[in-house]
């Protein structure tokens, strides 16, 4: 699917509209639903096909989104008309980032070699949240490439506490 500055501009415009109307949750939910729907290969193929007439695409979209906020339906229609429906996933990601920033929430991904229990997860979340002085939403991922330790990604910040990184540091010190 497409990415780029276009998606960011659409997301910023959508965010301003949603924020001014007080509908951030509704917009977040509906954009997420749309992103998931359009992420389906058969749906994406239909909506991006040059062989399918635009009116057919718009008709299907209007039926699918009949319970959606009309402004979201308009956005999706514009994307379909401009043959940019593939942007919806990136728009959703950018919109979510804007919502998180406005509410003071950061998203973190924690990669570990083994699955963590709830107590370990809580401890990690508390440490990261305290260190960054922000509320976190954390997702955990098992990475079989890691020998041990963990790698934490929060936005553009990477905290590498993996055994591999410690071995690299040790190798540098021995090489001096």
Question: In what helix (H) or strand (E) does residue 105 lie, and over which residues does it extend?
Answer: strand 105-112
Residue 3 predicted with pLDDT over 60: no
Q: Is 120 exposed, middle or buried (0-12, 13-18, 19+ CB in 10 A)?
A: middle
Q: Which strand ranges, in their side-by-side order, compose the sheet holding 149-154? A: 135-142, 105-112, 149-154, 157-162
Residue 116 and residue 64 in one domain? no
In this structure, are 168 and 130 located in the same domain? yes
* Collapsed DSSP state (helix, strand, coil) of residue 47: helix
Residue 30 has pLDDT above 90, yes or no: yes
Query: What's the pLDDT score for residue 1?
Result: 46
- Where is the domain boundary, 101, 132, 158? 101
Single out the residue in 71, 101, 131 at which a domain terminates: 101
Q: Are residues 87 and 11 located together in one domain of the fold? A: yes
Q: Are residues 10 and 68 in the same domain?
A: yes
Cα angle for residues 74, 90, 104 (degrees, 5° grid): 100
Give the residue among 131, 137, 126, 39 at the shortest CA–CA distance from 85. Answer: 39
**Span 95-150, pLDDT tens digits:** 998 998 888 888 889 999 888 899 999 998 888 888 888 888 888 999 888 888 88
| Whether pLDDT at 10 is above 50 | yes
Residue 148, domain CATH: 3.40.30
Whether 63 and 84 map to the same domain: the answer is yes
The whole-number pLDDT of residue 12 equals 95
- pTM, two decimals, is 0.70
Which of 79, 101, 123 lies at the terminal end of a domain, its last residue? 101
Range of the domain at 123: 104-175
Query: Are 74 and 133 found together in one domain?
Result: no
First to last CA, the chain: 46
Q: What was the pLDDT predicted at 165? A: 80
Say which residue, 161 or 25, is predicted with more confidence: 25
Element (H, E) at 101: helix 88-103
- Is the pLDDT at 173 greater than 50? The verdict is yes
- Domain shared by 108 and 69, yes or no: no
pLDDT (tens digit per residue) in 63-104: 989 999 999 999 999 999 999 999 999 999 999 989 988 888
Say what the pLDDT of residue 91 is: 95
Whether residues 38 and 74 fall in one domain: yes
**Domain tally for the chain?**
2
User: Quick one: which of 24, 19, 33 has its CA closest to 73?
Assistant: 33
Q: How many CB atoms lie within 10 A of CB 101?
A: 12
Assess contact for 108 and 154: CB atoms under 8 A: yes
113 and 79: one domain? no
Same domain, 117 and 162: yes
Together in a domain, 50 and 137: no
pLDDT for 94:
92
Instruction: Give the separation between CA 61 and CA 78, rounded to whole angstroms.
Output: 11
Render pLDDT for 34-74 as a digit per residue (tens, 0 to 9). 999 998 999 999 998 999 999 999 999 999 899 999 999 99
């Amino acid at each position: 699917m497409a990415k780029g500055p276009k998606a960011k501009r659409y997301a910023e415009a959508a965010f301003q509209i949603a924020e001014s109307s007080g509908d951030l949750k509704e917009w977040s939910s509906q954009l997420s639903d749309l992103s998931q729907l359009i992420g389906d290969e058969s749906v994406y193929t239909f909506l991006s096909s040059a062989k399918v007439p635009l009116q057919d695409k718009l008709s299907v979209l209007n039926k699918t989104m009949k319970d959606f906020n009309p402004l979201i339906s308009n956005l999706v229609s514009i994307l379909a008309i401009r043959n940019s429906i593939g942007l919806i996933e990136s728009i959703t990601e950018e919109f979510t980032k804007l919502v998180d920033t406005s509410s003071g929430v950061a998203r973190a991904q924690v990669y570990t070699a083994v699955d963590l229990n709830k107590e370990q997860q809580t401890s990690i979340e508390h440490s990261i949240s305290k260190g960054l002085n922000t509320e976190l939403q954390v997702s955990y991922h098992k990475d079989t490439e890691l020998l041990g330790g963990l790698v934490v990604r929060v936005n553009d910040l990477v905290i590498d506490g993996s055994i591999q990184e410690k071995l690299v540091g040790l190798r540098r010190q021995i090489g001096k």
